Amino acid sequence: MISLPANRTDGQANSGDSAGLIMVIRQEENSFKELEAVQKNLEALQKMGPFTQFATSYGMRWKGLQAVRYCNSQISELSEAVTPRTHLLVLIIRPPEKMDLRYEGVKRDMPPPAGSIVVVPAGSSVLCRRQGSMDVLHVLLEPSLVARVAAESFELDPTRTVVPTLDGLNVPELRSAMLAVDAELRAGGDGGPLMCEALATMLSVHLIRHTTGARRPDSADGVLPRRKLRTVIEYIMENLESRLTLKRMAAAVHLSPYHFARQFKAATGLPPHQYVIARRVERAQHFLRADGEIGVTDVALRVGFSDQSKLSFQFKRIVGVPPGQFRISARKA
C-alpha cells in the first residue's frame, strides 16, 4: 500500500505587505517540497510494477480528499509504506492472486475479496507482499475533515474520535461513495473540486456511522429554511465569478457542509454545485445578449468558469446550443 501526501491549500497575500510576501515565499517553498514528496511516492509506486492504467487527483484542486487509481501486472516485492497525515481507504476492484498484508494489528495471508474496503488510519505502517495483477482505488481522507464531521454532524468529541483499522469491509454506502470519487477522478469536469468536497464529507459520514454506530441528529433533516435559502442564494449570485466551495456556501448560513448540501437540494431540487453552474450559464446568457463585443472567453471568466471550453460544455448541456450560436440567434430575435 502506498499513500500520497495530502493536497496543499493555497493562500493569498496582499502586495506591498512584507509579512504577506514572506508568507507567499514560504508557501512556494512548501509547495515545492510537497511536489517533491508526491513525485517520490509516484516513483515508489512505479517500482512495484509497471502501470497499465494510472490516474491521480493531484493538480485537480480537490480539498478534503485525494485519490489514486492504479493497476499493474507483475509480481511485486516486499514493500513498506506509511500514511503520515491521512486516513487511507482502499477499494479492492480486482484482487491479486496472492497477498500477505500487515498493518496495525491486521494480519492477512490471502487476498481480500473484490469490492471490499481496507481502512488504514493515519500514521499506520503497512507491510505488503503480493503477486499477480491488481486493480485498486486509494482514497486519502483528511483526518481534520473526519474530526470536524464527527463534531458538527454527530456531536462527538473530535479529540476522542478514532478511525480504527478495518479489513475486508463490506459497506455498500461507503463503496458507492468511493466509486463516485473514482468516476470523477477518471472523467473530471467543471465543478469537480466542489463535488469532491461533498464526497469527502459523505465518506467521513459513512465511515463514522460504521465505526461508531452514530447517526445524524433528527433536527438536521428537512428543507433549508426560506430565510437561509435567500441568504445563500444572495451569496452565490454576489460571488459567481469567484471560486464557490461547498464549505464557503455552508458557512454563509452557519451549517456543516453535509447538512447544507442535503437541505439545499431538498429546497431547490439541485445539489449546490449544479445550482452554481446553472446560475453561471444564466448570467453568461445575459452577457451574450447584452454585449456583442465581449468575447466568449471573457464571458466565461466573468461568470466564474476557468476557461471557454468549460463554459461551452455546460452552456450546450443546459441551453442546447453553444454560446456562439446562442449569440447569433439572440441578435436575430
pTM exceeding 0.75: no
Region class of 170: left (phi > 0), else alpha (psi between -120 and 50), else beta: beta
What is the pLDDT, as a whole number, of residue 81? 58
The residue behind cell 449569440 is: 327
CA distances in angstroms from 222 to 31, 83, 216, listed in the order given: 41, 38, 12
Locate 148 and state its grid cell.
470536524
Quote the Cα angle for 316-240-247, to 5°. Answer: 110
The residues, any chain, with a CB within 8 Å of residue 268's CB and separated by 6 or more, are 229, 275
Mean pLDDT of the chain: 78
**Helical (H) or strand (E) element with 318:** helix 308-319
**Environment class of residue 54 by beta-carbon count within 10 Å: exposed (0-12), middle (13-18) or buried (19+)?**
middle
The residues, any chain, with a CB within 8 Å of residue 31's CB and separated by 6 or more, are 8, 10
Task: Evaluate whether 54 touches 44 at the Cβ level (below 8 Å).
Answer: no
More confident residue, 94 or 178: 178
Q: Does residue 18 register a pLDDT over 50?
A: no
What is the pLDDT, as a whole number, of residue 77? 52
Tell me: the pLDDT tens digits for 200-253?
A: 999 999 998 888 775 444 444 578 888 899 999 999 999 999 989 999 999 999
Locate 49 and state its grid cell.
510494477
Q: Does residue 325 register a pLDDT over 60?
A: yes
Q: What is the mean pLDDT of residues 288-302?
A: 87
Q: Does residue 272 register a pLDDT over 90?
A: yes
Tell me: the pLDDT tens digits for 56-101?
A: 888 888 989 999 887 765 555 545 555 557 899 999 998 888 888 8
Exposure b/e, 125-163, CB count within 10 A at least 16 = b: ebebbbebbbbbbbbbbbbebbbbbbebbbebeeeebeb
- Residue 316's CB is within 10 A of a number of other CB atoms, namely 15
